Amino acid sequence: MVAQSGRLSTHVLDTALGKPAAGVRILLYRVSGNSHRKIAEVTTNADGRTDAPLLQGDALQSGQYELVFCAGAYLRETGQASGEVLFLDEIPIRFGVPDAGAHYHVPLLISPFAYSTYRGS
């Protein structure tokens, strides 16, 4: 039996409009104590997903990570938010990867005034 290599993926759904959130910029950081090191930057496609996993294989290591979803720009672009200061702008989600051989899917569900996440499959 061949061990399956781990991977990290995400997608963004716009719950206010009831559709995938295309064009959302996402930053991925490796977190160690107070140190954040950016390791990836991607933008969601028309299906609200990234074209490839954010990390996979040996690139995914056990430890702490943080995804930062640049939701404010998306909400402005879709006409759901305006003004200089938004209720939701950049949304950070910090999570741990205890098993680098597993699949971690961290989706974001957004609207102009709320968001949620969970460990998906």
- The structural domains of the chain, with segments of one domain joined by +, span 7-111
Give the global pTM.
0.93
Mean pLDDT by 10 residues, the chain (121 residues): 76 98 98 95 98 96 97 97 94 97 97 96 86
Predicted confidence at residue 5, as pLDDT, reads 84
d(CA 38, CA 109): 23
Predicted confidence at residue 2, as pLDDT, reads 45
d(CA 19, CA 13): 6
Predicted confidence at residue 4, as pLDDT, reads 59
Question: Is the distance from CB of 115 to CB of 91 less than 8 angstroms?
Answer: yes
CATH code: domain 7-111 is 2.60.40.180
d(CA 93, CA 73): 17
